[in-house]
Amino acid sequence: MELEKTRLVAGSLPVCDWCLGRQFTKNIMKAEQIGVLTRGKPYNGPCTFCNNAYIRRKEIAKEAAEALEKYEFSTFSIGIIIGYDKINAEDEIRSKLKLHSGIAIKRALVSLFRKELHVLLKKEVVVWNGEALLIIDLVHQTFHIETRSVGLLVRYVKLQRGIRTRGIKCLLCKGSGCDQCDFTGMSKEVPSVEFEVVRHFKSVYGASKVKITWSGTEDDNSLVLGKGRPIFVHIINPMLRKSGFDRVCLSINKKIQFTEVRVMDSKPPVFDQLKKIVLYRLKLRDNLTDEQIRSLEDYFSDREATAHAGKKRRVYNLGIKQNLNESVTMTAEMDNGLSPWLILGLKEESDIRTVAEIIPRANIIEADYDIIDFKT
């Protein structure tokens, strides 16, 4: 009965010996031999099912291996794109002849090229989630390669004023990336932390894209010091992995530097528990009185305030460091989600008493702040 069905398959459509034999075995390495034996002689014509991919397997695998050469990976997965007409033609024959054994064309080709490329690359082949994913497109005779993302916990310090946290879109490419913006999608004419971070990690990892999960922002004219603000950097489709990390430079320029770069799981961390220490500088018309100093320090001792989106955040303490020559410096420790301007009461409305109300506002000529450290 199986021999008769085999001959019916061979007589219905032009199929190679491998595609003929695998209708009756799950061992793709023996499929060609079974096809020759049941057909009675070797067949060298075109194949309706695999489009001669089996005959060209060595050539295709070699080209695929060459395409993977510029990527750094230790494990890889394989996917196959084959025309629906090939799949439908095989399904129709199998249904018509009531064939229940064997292995379907797409699964067979995946298994075939896993074995071929494992021999060539001498690297571990995994079913899914390899560090590299190779898609062999047999319809267009091309290869598409994607690599597993790399996640980095990064801390940066901002050592120059007048630098934005977030970048603005490049006017030429509208964010898609071009020569003008060093393929970051952001204007390099407007200095930003985001531009510098994306440009650096995109370059050292040879990545197609870099995304950042922020732990908040700071004022353009504020410095960020101490251990630095933590962010999560998502490296998408990197060509390099370990050697990319080895190329990371902590001091990328005089304006933005990294204090920590650590590989971590690709899931962004939660920054809710982060606290920041803010240094305020106020220029006054008159020095603060002792009573005003006590009022400020007492009021902002473990004080809850409403931040953006209605979330409750706390100021843990506020201390006056200097009160001299009509100028005041003070530090405050607060939850990261709380805007330093909200506490001052000069640029943002607040649901609590602000520094400007206690001093009072008429006594303040100007004010600014820096973030001098972060705590967890």
Residue 9 has pLDDT above 70, yes or no: no
- Tell me, what's the pLDDT at 8? 57
pLDDT over 70, % of the chain: 97
Full DSSP string of 137-203: ETTTTEEEEEE--EEEEEEEEE-SSS-BSS--B-TTTTTS--GGGTTSSB-SSS-BHHHHHHHHHHH
What is the distance between the alpha carbons of residues 23 and 279, in angstroms, rounded to a whole number? Answer: 75
Question: What letter does residue 76 receive in the DSSP assignment?
Answer: E
* Residue 369, beta-bridge partner list: 280
- Tell me, what's the pLDDT at 37? 85
pLDDT in tens, 324-370: 999 999 999 999 999 999 999 998 888 999 999 999 999 999 999 99
Task: Please say whether the beta carbons of 68 and 132 come within 8 A.
Answer: yes
Q: What is the mean pLDDT of the chain?
A: 92
pLDDT over 90, % of the chain: 80
pTM over 0.75: yes
Residues ≥6 apart with Cβ < 8 Å to 184: 167, 170, 177, 195, 198, 199, 202
- The angle subtended at Cα 110 by Cα 108 and Cα 115, nearest 5°, is 95
What is the distance between the alpha carbons of residues 285 and 80, in angstroms, rounded to a whole number? Answer: 74
- Tell me, what's the pLDDT at 61? 97
pLDDT in tens, 140-150: 999 999 999 99
pLDDT in tens, 133-185: 999 999 999 999 999 999 999 999 999 999 999 999 999 999 999 999 999 99
